[in-house]
Amino acid sequence: MLCDPPQTRGACEAAQCISEEINSGLALWANSLRVRRLADGALRITWSAPCATPDGEAPARYRVWGRERNESARVLLLQTGDQAFVHTPPGGSHQYEVTSAW
């Protein structure tokens, strides 16, 4: 729960504001990330442009990061102006993150 245990009106309003920023993606300057497995076993990763941006302009490019395990360091896989990326992970599970760059 985001509110303090006394759950005052002010604490709950602040928690609602914070959660709306996170749930909408506005806090992260992100919108969505979707992963689909293709017939050949590769993964197609797609995303949408941010819902809102710091200067009102779309990002110039996106950086796609990946790692094999939670403990692993993220590795930059690609910088692209597109909103899609096809990747064949080197076995096992893989985690992805896409960040915007202006």
Q: In what order do the strands lie in the sheet with 84-87?
A: 33-37, 43-47, 84-87
Q: Looking at residue 17, what is its pLDDT?
A: 65
Is 31-101 in CATH node 3.40.605.10?
A: no
Does the pTM exceed 0.85?
A: no
Segments making up each domain of the chain, as ranges? 1-28, 31-101
Which of 2-6, 33-37, 73-77 is the most confident on average? 73-77
**pLDDT digits over 59-79, tens only?**
889 999 998 877 889 999 999
Question: Please, which pLDDT band fits residue 1 given cuts at 50, 70 and 90?
Answer: very low
**pLDDT digits over 9-28, tens only?**
877 777 776 666 555 555 55
Taking the C-alpha atoms of residue 56 and residue 10, their distance in angstroms, rounded to an integer, is 31
